[in-house]
Structure 1
Amino acid sequence: METQFQLLFDKMKLEMQQQSVEITESITNNIMSRLEEKLIPIIEENKSLKLKIETQEKEIEYLKREKRNNNIIIFGVDETEKTTLELMDMLKKTFKNDINIDIEDNAINNLYRLGKKSIEGNKPRPVFCSFVNGWKKNEIMKNKKHLKKIYVTEDYPKEILAKRKALQAELIEERKKGKIAFLKYDKLVVKETINEKRKRETSSSLLSSDLQPKKQQATASLANRTNVFDVMRMRSNSLTNAPTNKQQ
């Protein structure tokens, strides 16, 4: 009797454990499903917010670039002026003498020296120049290599200047290889030279000419094989017809 009661007790214990596990799983599943139902709209809203933030960041970046699009930074201008008008006259004369570009007073939107003046005063501070539109600025940038005493650059943000500085070593390496390489905003652009293009075109044409005779040889060998089979057929036909002719 005791053993039967023990077996019955063990059986009931196992059933209760299984029931508790099932109840726990069902409760957990219900809770998870309800949580998922509540989390789905939050996740979707989070995705839409991320997309909006990315779009706004792109718009801000575009506006920043547009704001600086008509600006240039000029290095090497002697710091002898007393007023902004004198500085403007100096730049106008330099651009006219070196690259034959006339700059009207109303073409410049803003003009000033960058940074604090050093006590020694040996090195002139760079000049910030903002044009009303991009025409004059683009004209100057196209001809800046002909400037004699001054040097002109784009007005880049600090983070873009850091990226361009980091790309300088790679730019020099690509140019040493004989390739056309230049920096476009914060990207390194590498192009093939005319000689490299000609070499590639010549090698590809040579490969195609090498492949063509092989194809012709393959087709010729196939033709020869067919001719051999024809000859063999003709011989077999003649052999089969020979005895019948003799009997006749």
Structure 2
Amino acid sequence: MENAIMEIVEEMKKLRTDFNAEQQETRKLIEEKFSKDQEEKAEINGKIEKQDGRIYKLENGTRKRNVIVYGLTEETHENFNDLKQKIDWLFNTKMEMGIKREEIDEFFRLGKKNDSKRNRPIIVKMISSWRKTEIMMNKRKLKGTMIFIENDMNEEEMKEKRNMVTEMKDLKSKGHDAYIRGKSLIVNNVSEAGTSNNAREKNNTTGNIRDDEATTEEQDGSNIGNTTIYQTPLNTPGKRNVSQRSPEKNTEFKLVEKIENAIKKKKIVQLQRNRSSSEGQKTLDSMIFRRQEINSKSKIDDQKNDSENKNIGYASFVYDPSEKEDNENNKVQEQTTEQTGQK
């Protein structure tokens, strides 16, 4: 009996070891397959991101020369020539830009025609991008009218713009002077008592908020000292990253900037010290010192030569014939005395 029990126990142990080994093998196979699936998924996601980036670039390339005109009246039986005359009146009569018809590639109204009284927007495709930028720069001339011009945006950018407009309305209702400039929402910290009548009128108005009203260039000269800028990157569709800088954070930012400038100055001084202590700098300094010594010695020698030339005396010799005769008589007398002495 005992032997039989021992055999059964050993068989159970073998079965356990075999089961554990098979379990480990299956785990390895599952992990390998899962890792391969993850790698394939990462590759597919990378390809999709690249494709999205290319599509976004292509869309922006086609849209960057387009403008959308809002507020131009639409008749029930409007045809192509009527729309052409309206665009010609807008750009050349109202905005005084002198745009020729050859500079416009295409124009048409967006959306289906319906019985509602709402005017459909018009998309105008320009041939050159610089002409389009001129249109956007001159849209301030439409201030005070119900016509306004915007960039051609995709769906994500339109959603982002709507979110910014709703946020701007909320801030205006709280007493802040808020407006949209480009891709950022700018807020001046103004109290409710300090809000102007124009701001209150804008808060009370309903319907579409005009882009030139929100992005007026008149705000450029306003106080930007107490300004908070909410930057919203439109290049990231579906996301809204808001960065707000309050006056307290502004002081902190200035302190950090001062510290960084001080660190930079210390680094520059340290570099200058390292250069002065290097062997190359020492040899260069010694060469400069030798040159200075040679130049100083040459200057001293030149000064000595100049002084010697200045101290030279000049003797003038004058020819006198009487002196010559006296010398000859003296010579004759000397010769006669010598002859008498010999005798």
TM bracket, shorter-chain basis: 0.5 to 0.7
2 CA distance for matches of 1:22 and 1:124? 80
Where does residue 112 of structure 1 map in the other structure?
A: 108
Decide whether aligned partners of structure 1 residues 44 and 98 sit closer, same or farther in structure 2, where only a CA change above 3 A counts.
Answer: same
Residue of structure 2 aligned with 1:26, choices 9, 21, 44: 21
In structure 1, the gaps of 5 or more residues are 208-248
1 CA distance for matches of 2:48 and 2:250? 51
2 CA distance for matches of 1:43 and 1:158? 31
Pair 1:135-2:165 in alignment: no
Where does residue 125 of structure 1 map in the other structure?
A: 120
Deviation at 1:108, TM superposition (A): 0.8
Where does residue 194 of structure 1 map in the other structure?
A: 224
Task: Answer whether contact 2:65 2:127 (CA < 8 A) is retained.
Answer: yes
Where does residue 72 of structure 2 map in the other structure?
A: 77
Give the 3-state SS of the residue equivalent to 1:74 in structure 2.
Answer: strand
Equivalent residues in 2 for 1:156-175, closer than 5 Å: 156-174=153-171
Where does residue 56 of structure 1 map in the other structure?
A: 51
Task: Answer whether contact 1:72 1:154 (CA < 8 A) is retained.
Answer: yes
Where does residue 234 of structure 1 map in the other structure?
A: none
Where does residue 152 of structure 2 map in the other structure?
A: 155
Where does residue 92 of structure 1 map in the other structure?
A: 88
* Residue-pair matches, total: 196
Equivalent residues in 2 for 1:220-231, closer than 5 Å: none
Task: Answer whether contact 2:168 2:178 (CA < 8 A) is retained.
Answer: no
Decide whether aligned partners of structure 1 residues 47 and 190 sit closer, same or farther in structure 2, where only a CA change above 3 A counts.
Answer: same
Deviation at 1:109, TM superposition (A): 0.9
Decide whether aligned partners of structure 1 residues 95 and 28 sit closer, same or farther in structure 2, where only a CA change above 3 A counts.
Answer: same
More helix, by proportion: 1
Deviation at 1:39, TM superposition (A): 5.3
Task: Answer whether contact 1:174 1:180 (CA < 8 A) is retained.
Answer: no
Where does residue 103 of structure 1 map in the other structure?
A: 99
Deviation digits for residues 174-203 of structure 1 (CA, Å, limit 9, x no counterpart)? 45434665462xxx5457762227x66996
Give the 3-state SS of the residue equivalent to 1:156 in structure 2.
Answer: coil
2 CA distance for matches of 1:14 and 1:178? 86
2 CA distance for matches of 1:46 and 1:201? 42
Where does residue 45 of structure 1 map in the other structure?
A: 40
Decide whether aligned partners of structure 1 residues 180 and 149 sit closer, same or farther in structure 2, where only a CA change above 3 A counts.
Answer: closer
C-alpha RMSD of matched pairs (Å) = 3.4
1 CA distance for matches of 2:64 and 2:50? 21
Decide whether aligned partners of structure 1 residues 194 and 38 sit closer, same or farther in structure 2, where only a CA change above 3 A counts.
Answer: closer
Deviation at 1:41, TM superposition (A): 4.4
Deviation digits for residues 24-50 of structure 1 (CA, Å, limit 9, x no counterpart)? 111122233345445544543332222
Decide whether aligned partners of structure 1 residues 58 and 19 sit closer, same or farther in structure 2, where only a CA change above 3 A counts.
Answer: same
Task: Answer whether contact 1:174 1:181 (CA < 8 A) is retained.
Answer: no
The structure with higher relative contact order (CA 8 Å, sep 6+) is 1
2 CA distance for matches of 1:164 and 1:20? 68
**Mean Cα deviation higher: 12-21 or 64-73:** 12-21
Deviation digits for residues 139-195 of structure 1 (CA, Å, limit 9, x no counterpart)? 2222223213422122223343234223322233445434665462xxx54577622
2 CA distance for matches of 1:82 and 1:103? 22
Which amino acid in the other structure matches residue 103 of structure 1?
Answer: I
Deviation digits for residues 76-116 of structure 1 (CA, Å, limit 9, x no counterpart)? 22335854344223322322333321211111111112234
Query: What percentage of residue pairs aligned between the two structures are identical?
Result: 22
Deviation at 1:56, TM superposition (A): 0.5
1 CA distance for matches of 2:161 and 2:64? 17
**Mean Cα deviation higher: 103-112 or 57-66:** 57-66
